[in-house]
């Protein structure tokens, strides 16, 4: 009887302790319990040994626990797949048998599971590690919640937190970029007498690298290597250094990033010497990352020096073309004049090395770097030569159209008169290569078409440019054309010598607007499109057509920086024409700009706009209106900086007019220039000289000559001396002959100095005088 009582007491105490320990994962209220989510774990295949027989309830607790540990290990080793669960924390601790499809009965099953199963920290850490590596967004919070319950239990003396559990939670935070929380947990580990393991260091280092905090990442590396309690493998050390170097290499804004990469390269080499492990040394990937960091920053010579160091390593690497390609890319992108020759020399070196090392052969990237080097240095013929060698002799097929595009771009911008034709030939070659290889990536794309059109446009060959544009629109592989090739074609028509260019441009503009509404919204004309059409109208003085295009622009696009330029081009088209109504048309457009500027500052006229209108009135002798417009411009609040051109336009109009008060008007304009601190130039003085000389004011004309002689930057030319001498020759003054002779003597002295321009001007004056006589 006593033995039975003793057994009952022992069993009761055990059950009591199990129930008390259940607070570790006490279920939350049904309202606050997290909703179902997906955990990436592996569902093990159900074999006969895994299927519980009907008498499973009779098995011992020890056997059941062993089976669960075996299943959990399978979960962590195999590739996970999605499994819908209700509570991942409970799953991590007790396995899938603690779940039920019936959510109402889940609470009872939890309590029953807590009363029957004790916590296994090894099992828990394994599952938490699986959680930390999963793609579940809140996995870090769930892992941390488990850690908190373990810590609370540890304070009461019931549970112990081991290093693996901490690693799992730290890794969960680190993988999600929560470095501060991960560092706090690492400090907390020391309070429990737990030192970080290698995986903990790697997780923290990886988090620092991914967040761009590379200095802290280097500190973690050195702590990892210097911790005698942790074994760092050569593979881990090399991998950490290499990835850190690669992260430095991507720091585009940091000019010293390349130097940091090189320093880390030498640090890694120093670590290997200090440890005495020959396996700890820079790998091929390490050297390639350092070379690439220097090459991308235009430091091709430094990249080449590092490559030479790699090739002279005591234990050479397996032959690889990758670091050589990175170095050659640096030479091709650099501004060095001999960059192309350096790439050529390295190409010859690779060909020589390939005789003894068959695996080391030039590939598509090698040839692309060489082609880019010659293309950037405006040597398209040599670039095309190596492109042909790559395809025909070396048998290397380009993976993309990039080498073709670089050669075509070089031809388009070259001075070769047949450059556009060669671009078209390369486009046809691309079509054939894509057809022969079956590689659709080699088919001509939007860039190649645009380059060819631009090549024709630069040479004023509008018809071939438009033909290429039609081929682009007919190419079904081009899904979404842009306005760029259309703008290039319009530019070709604007630069051509065809008189019908404005109508051609307007037809293309209308076609673009129609296609943008029916098929391609990306073809909606932009400001560049309209300005190309307006340029064609301006060059041919077609003001009426230009105004129609301007109105289309005002309706199609909102006001922008090009709005004033569009108005100025339209005004220029009217001003340069021979129409008598041109000045009034210019004045009308100027008033329209002033009205529109009340709603948008983009339409406010500037000094160029006023100068065009002033010139339209001045060159037709309407000097009074031109002067009024000049005064109006000076009172515009948005025009702060005024140059000399509008003043010269009015002076030129006054000089060519027959007004009697021309000298007085010139004096007024000079006073305005002085008030607004506008410095007169050579045209200003010459115009005044013509005004005075043509009105028998030789004294005033000579005073202008003396001002020019004393000017620090403007010197009189032969025409200036000739004009003043001619003014004295026609003067009725008593001393006119003496003054005339003196001016001619000064002119002879200037001619004796041997100035080429002065001599040429004298020769021109002599020829003109001979023709007149």
Question: Got the DSSP string for 412-449?
Answer: HHSS-TTHHHHHHHHHHHHHHHHHHH--GGGS--HHHH
- The pLDDT of residue 767 is 66
pLDDT in tens, 528-575: 999 999 999 999 999 999 999 999 999 999 999 999 999 999 999 999
pLDDT tier, 110 (very low <50, low <70, confident <90, very high otherwise):
very low
| Closest C-alpha to 590, from 578, 607, 605, 611 | 605
Residue 290 is encoded by which pair of tokens?
């350092």
Average pLDDT over residues 114-143: 73
pLDDT surpassing 60 at residue 39:
no
**Residue 156 confidence class, pLDDT cut points 50, 70, 90:** low
Average pLDDT over residues 603-610: 93
In degrees and rounded to multiples of 5, residue 763 shows phi and psi of -65, -40
Distance in angstroms (rounded) separating the CA atoms of residues 268 and 257? 17
Q: In which region does residue 677 sit, left (phi positive, over 0), alpha (psi from -120 to 50) or beta (all else)?
A: left
Residue 765 is encoded by which pair of tokens?
Answer: 């004056």
Q: What is the pLDDT of residue 170?
A: 86
Task: Please report, rounded to a whole number, the percentage of residues in the chain having pLDDT higher than 70.
Answer: 82
Q: Helix 380-388 vs helix 402-413: angle between axes, to the nearest 10 degrees?
A: 150
Ramachandran class of 298: left when φ > 0, alpha when ψ lies in -120 to 50, beta otherwise? left
Domain residue limits at 687: 680-773
* pLDDT at residue number 143: 84
Q: Check whether 121 has a pLDDT greater than 80.
A: no
List pLDDT tens digits, range 437-488: 888 888 999 999 999 999 999 998 999 999 999 999 998 888 889 999 999 9
What are the tens digits of pLDDT across the range 353-400?
Answer: 888 887 888 999 999 999 999 999 999 999 999 999 998 876 788 888
Residue 580 forms part of a structural domain: no
Per-residue pLDDT, 119: 58
Alpha helices in 357-418, H assignment, sequence order? 364-376, 380-388, 402-413
Asked if the model's pLDDT at residue 492 lies above 50, the reply is: yes
Can you tell me which residue has the tokens 């907390």? 188
The predicted structure's pLDDT at residue 396: 80
What pLDDT is attached to residue 768? 64
pLDDT at position 462: 93
d(CA 252, CA 643): 41
Q: Which residues pair with 263 in a beta bridge?
A: none
Pick from 155, 141, 115: nearest CA to 25: 115
DSSP-derived letter for residue 97 is G
Cβ neighbours around 752 below 10 Å, total: 9
- Look at the chain and report how many structural domains it folds into: 1
Q: What is the four-CA torsion angle of 250, 251, 252, 256, rounded to 10 degrees? A: -120
Q: Is residue 596 part of a domain?
A: no
Task: State the average pLDDT over residues 737-755.
Answer: 85
- 154 is a domain residue: no
**Angle separating helix axes 2-21 and 106-116, nearest 10 degrees:** 120
- 65 pLDDT band, cuts 50/70/90, is very low
Per-residue exposure over 456-479, b if at least 16 CB sit within 10 Å of its own CB, e if not: bbbbebbebbbbbbebbbebeebe
Is residue 1 over pLDDT 60?
A: no
Give the pLDDT confidence score for residue 707 in this predicted structure: 87
Q: What is the mean pLDDT of residues 635-642?
A: 82
In the structure, what pLDDT confidence band is assigned to residue 347 with cuts at 50, 70 and 90?
A: very high
Residue 771 lies in a domain: yes
In a domain, 292, yes or no: no
Look-up of token digits 């640096």: 330
Question: Can you name the residues that pair with 81 across neighbouring β-strands?
Answer: 41
Angstrom CA distances, 211 to 167, 205, 207, stand at 20, 10, 6
DSSP 86: S
Q: Is the pLDDT of residue 352 over 70?
A: yes
| Residue of higher predicted confidence among 245 and 10 | 245
Can you tell me which residue has the tokens 């064609």? 536
Residues 6+ apart with CB under 8 A from 427: 408, 444, 448, 449, 452
Residue 670 lies in a domain: no
Span of 208-212, 344-348, 377-381, 630-634 with lowest mean pLDDT: 208-212
What does the pLDDT average to over 332-339? Answer: 91
Q: Which of 13-22, 273-282, 561-570 has the highest mean pLDDT?
A: 561-570
Per the DSSP assignment, residues forming a β-bridge with 39 are 83
What is the per-residue pLDDT across 405-435, written as a single tens digit (0 to 9) for each?
999 999 999 999 999 999 999 999 999 988 8
What's the CA gap between 654 and 618, in Å, rounded? 7
Q: H/E element holding 83?
A: strand 81-85
Residue 153, Cβ neighbours under 10 Å: how many? 17
In this predicted structure, the answer to whether residue 40 has a pLDDT above a threshold of 50 is no
pLDDT for residue 153: 64
As a whole number, mean pLDDT of residues 568-587 equals: 93
415 burial via Cβ count (<10 Å: 0-12, 13-18, 19+): exposed
- Kindly indicate the confidence band of residue 507, based on its pLDDT and cuts at 50, 70 and 90: very high
pLDDT category of residue 584 using cuts at 50, 70 and 90: very high
What's the average model confidence in pLDDT over 645-662?
A: 87
* pLDDT(503) > 80: yes
Rounded CA-CA distance 136/134 in Å is 6
Alpha carbon separation from 699 to 43, 80, 88, 569 (Å, rounded): 109, 102, 105, 42
Structure confidence by residue, pLDDT tens digits, 712-735: 888 888 888 888 888 888 888 888
- Please give the residue that has the higher pLDDT: either 640 or 279: 279
What is the secondary structure of 626-650 as a DSSP string? HHHHHHHHHT-TT-----SHHHHHH
- Can you give the pLDDT at residue 374? 95
The angle at the Cα of 338, spanning 335 to 342, to the nearest 5 degrees, equals: 110
What are the tokens at 477? 């592989």
The answer to whether position 300 is within a domain reads: no
| pLDDT over 80 (residue 56) | no
Average pLDDT on 233-237 reads 90
In a domain, 343, yes or no: no
pLDDT band of residue 10 (cuts 50, 70, 90) is low
């Amino acid at each position: 009887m006593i033995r039975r009582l003793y057994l009952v007491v022992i069993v009761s105490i055990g059950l009591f302790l199990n129930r008390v320990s259940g607070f570790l994962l006490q279920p939350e209220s049904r309202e606050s319990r997290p909703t179902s989510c997906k955990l990436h774990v592996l569902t093990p295949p159900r074999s006969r040994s895994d299927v519980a027989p009907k008498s499973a309830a009779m098995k011992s607790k020890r056997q059941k626990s062993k089976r669960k540990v075996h299943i959990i290990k399978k979960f962590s080793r195999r590739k996970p797949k999605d499994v819908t669960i209700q509570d991942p924390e409970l799953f991590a601790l007790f396995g899938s048998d603690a779940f039920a499809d019936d959510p109402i009965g889940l609470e009872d099953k939890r309590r029953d599971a807590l009363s029957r199963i004790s916590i296994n920290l090894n099992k828990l850490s394994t599952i938490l590690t699986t959680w930390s590596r999963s793609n579940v967004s809140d996995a870090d919070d769930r892992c941390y919640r488990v850690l908190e319950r373990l810590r609370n239990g540890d304070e009461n003396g019931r549970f112990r937190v081991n290093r693996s559990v901490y690693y799992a939670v730290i890794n969960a935070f680190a993988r999600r970029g929560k470095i501060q929380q991960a560092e706090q947990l690492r400090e907390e580990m020391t309070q429990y007498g737990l030192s970080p393991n290698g995986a903990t260091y790697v997780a923290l280092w990886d988090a620092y690298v991914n967040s761009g905090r590379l200095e802290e990442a280097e500190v973690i590396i050195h702590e990892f290597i210097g911790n005698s309690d942790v074994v760092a493998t050569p593979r881990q050390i090399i991998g950490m250094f290499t990835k850190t170097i690669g992260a430095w290499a991507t720091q585009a804004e940091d000019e010293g990033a390349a130097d940091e990469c090189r320093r880390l390269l030498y640090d890694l080499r120093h670590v290997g010497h200090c440890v005495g492990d020959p396996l700890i040394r820079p790998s091929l990937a390490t050297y390639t990352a350092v070379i690439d960091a220097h090459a991308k920053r235009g430091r091709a010579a430094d990249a080449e020096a590092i490559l030479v160091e790699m090739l002279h390593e005591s234990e050479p690497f397996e032959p690889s073309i990758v670091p050589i390609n990175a170095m050659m890319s640096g030479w091709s992108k650099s501004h060095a004049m001999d960059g192309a020759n350096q790439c050529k020399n390295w190409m010859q070196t690779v060909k020589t090395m390939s005789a003894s090392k068959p695996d080391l052969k030039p590939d598509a990237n090698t040839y692309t770097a060489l082609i880019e080097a010659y293309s950037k240095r405006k040597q398209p013929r040599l670039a095309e030569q190596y492109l042909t060698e790559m395809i025909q002799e070396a048998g290397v097929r380009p993976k993309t159209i990039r080498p073709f595009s670089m050669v075509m771009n070089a031809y388009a911008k070259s001075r070769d008169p047949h450059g556009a034709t060669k671009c078209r030939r390369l486009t046809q070659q691309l079509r054939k290569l894509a057809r022969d290889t079956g590689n659709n990536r080699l088919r001509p794309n939007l860039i190649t078409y645009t380059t060819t059109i631009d090549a024709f446009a630069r040479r004023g060959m509008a018809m071939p440019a438009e033909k290429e544009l039609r081929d682009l629109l007919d190419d079904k592989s081009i899904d979404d054309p842009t306005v760029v090739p259309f703008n290039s074609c319009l530019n070709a028509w604007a630069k051509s010598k065809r008189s019908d260019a404005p109508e051609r441009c307007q037809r293309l503009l209308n076609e673009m607007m129609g296609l943008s509404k029916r098929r391609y919204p990306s073809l909606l004309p932009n400001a560049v499109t309209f300005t190309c059409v307006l340029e064609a109208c301006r060059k041919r003085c077609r003001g009426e057509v230009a105004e129609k295009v301007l109105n289309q622009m005002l309706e199609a696009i909102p006001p922008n920086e090009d709005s004033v330029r569009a108005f100025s081009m339209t005004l220029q088209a009217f001003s340069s024409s021979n129409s008598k109504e041109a000045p009034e048309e210019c004045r009308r457009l100027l008033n329209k700009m002033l009205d529109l500027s009340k709603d948008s500052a983009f339409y406010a006229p500037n000094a160029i706009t006023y100068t065009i209108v002033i010139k339209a009135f001045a060159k037709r002798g309407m000097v009074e209106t031109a002067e009024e417009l000049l005064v109006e411009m000076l009172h515009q609040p948005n025009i702060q900086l005024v140059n000399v051109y509008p003043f010269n336009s009015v002076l030129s109009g006054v000089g060519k007019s027959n007004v009697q008060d021309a000298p007085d008007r010139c004096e007024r304009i000079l006073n305005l220039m002085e008030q607004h601190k506008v410095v007169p130039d050579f045209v200003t003085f010459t115009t005044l000289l013509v005004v005075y000389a043509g009105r028998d004011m030789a004294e005033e004309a000579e005073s202008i000559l003396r001002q020019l002689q004393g000017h620090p930057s403007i010197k009189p030319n032969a025409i200036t001396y000739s004009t003043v001498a001619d003014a004295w020759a026609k003067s009725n003054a008593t001393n006119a002959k003496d003054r005339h002779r003196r001016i001619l003597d000064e002119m002879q002295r200037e001619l004796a100095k041997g100035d080429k321009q002065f001599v040429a001007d004298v020769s021109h004056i002599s020829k003109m005088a001979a023709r007149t006589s």
